[in-house]
Amino acid sequence: MDFLISAGVTYWHWWSLAAILLVLEVMAPGVFFLWVAFAAALTGIVKLLFGGMSLEIQLLVFAVCGVVATFAGRRWVMRRINAKGDDDNAESTGLNQREQQFRGRIITLPHDMTDGETRVVLDGTTWRLYVGQLLKAGDQVRITAIKGTILQGEVVSR
């Protein structure tokens, strides 16, 4: 610690710390190091603008920026996660939410149905489709729900 005080910590030390933390962010799960890296970069900017800061003041600025950035970043991420369910959000893909992906989709039956069900291929996966009526190949069905591994649908046209 005496080395840091005698050598003096400059803005580029903080920016180097920010770069190291960003590398850790890439290698570690979660989104924690990003906010601390942001705090280190901000501390470097403050040091550049107000050059005569002691190490203690720099560490205080870093600590305050780190806490504020972490809480603000967490709030921002949580807001974006909660907004993922909105249909207006372009990033809402329904990934791993197959009921949202398939509900409302209209498909054309590739085969005649037997006992009110048939097999269809959606997005490269074969599914059982239950409509409850005997339909012919070429009829259109709208997916209304998923019960386990069975798609349920209703007739759109015959």
pLDDT digits (tens, 9 = 90+) for 117-130: 888 888 888 888 89
**pLDDT value at 27 more than 70:** yes
Alpha carbon distance 41, 49 (integer Å): 13
Q: Are strands 117-122 and 150-157 parallel, antiparallel or unpaired?
A: unpaired
Tell me, what's the pLDDT at 41?
95
Please report the pLDDT score of residue 20 as a whole number.
94
Superfamily for the 98-157 domain: Nucleic acid-binding proteins (2.40.50.140)
List Cβ neighbours of 41 (8 Å cut-off, separation of 6 or more): 14, 15, 18
Domains of the chain: which residue ranges?
2-83, 98-157
Instruction: Quote the pTM value.
Output: 0.49
Q: What are the tens digits of pLDDT across the range 60-114?
A: 999 999 999 999 988 888 888 777 655 444 445 555 666 667 888 898 888 888 8
119-152 residues labelled b (16+ CB within 10 A) or e (exposed): ebeeeeeebebbbeeebeeebebebeebeeeebb
Please give the residue that has the higher pLDDT: either 86 or 56. 56
